[in-house]
């Protein structure tokens, strides 16, 4: 590991070079992605019992074979929502990782000077 002091501090490990700015950008982007998906998950999960309290049709109206909207959502649609959310999060995280790898390659090609 090499630490150089210039306009920016860069850390070299292997062929990879990181600057303070690039690491900060990585953390900000990942935090934004994680908090966004966490908030969506929390809101939808909280909506299930809230609808049971405020909307009688949610748990009392039979829609098909004795199933209510609440039961149908919790037994099937909620799991589809979770799997879809996990898949899209994974794809967006992979895209973020690719972008950040390209940025690290650019920093490395400039000799750790940063941009």
| Burial class of residue 93 (count of CB atoms within 10 Å of its CB; 0-12, 13-18, 19+) | middle
Torsion of CA 46, 77, 33, 45, to 10 degrees: 10
The band of 18, judged by pLDDT with boundaries at 50, 70 and 90, is low
SS (H, E, C) 23-64: HHHHHHHHHHHHHHHHHHHHHHHHHHHHHHHHCHHHHHCEEE
User: What is the rounded average pLDDT of the residues 89-104?
Assistant: 85
83 or 103: which carries more pLDDT confidence? 83
Percent of the chain at pLDDT > 70 equals 77
d(CA 60, CA 52): 9
Residue 85 pLDDT exceeds 90: yes
13 or 114: which carries more pLDDT confidence? 13
* pLDDT score recorded for residue 5: 45
- Please indicate, yes or no, whether the overall pTM of this predicted structure exceeds 0.85: no
């Amino acid at each position: 590991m090499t630490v150089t002091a210039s306009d920016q501090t860069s850390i070299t490990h292997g062929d990879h070079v990181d600057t303070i700015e690039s690491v900060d950008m990585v953390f900000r982007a990942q935090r934004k992605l994680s908090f966004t998906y966490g908030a969506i998950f929390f809101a939808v999960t909280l909506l299930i019992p809230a609808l049971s309290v405020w909307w009688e049709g949610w748990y009392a109206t039979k829609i098909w074979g004795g199933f209510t909207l609440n039961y149908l959502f919790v037994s099937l649609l909620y799991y589809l929502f979770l799997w879809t959310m996990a898949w899209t999060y994974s794809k967006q995280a992979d895209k973020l990782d690719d972008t950040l790898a390209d940025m690290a390659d650019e920093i490395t090609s400039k000799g750790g000077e940063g941009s």
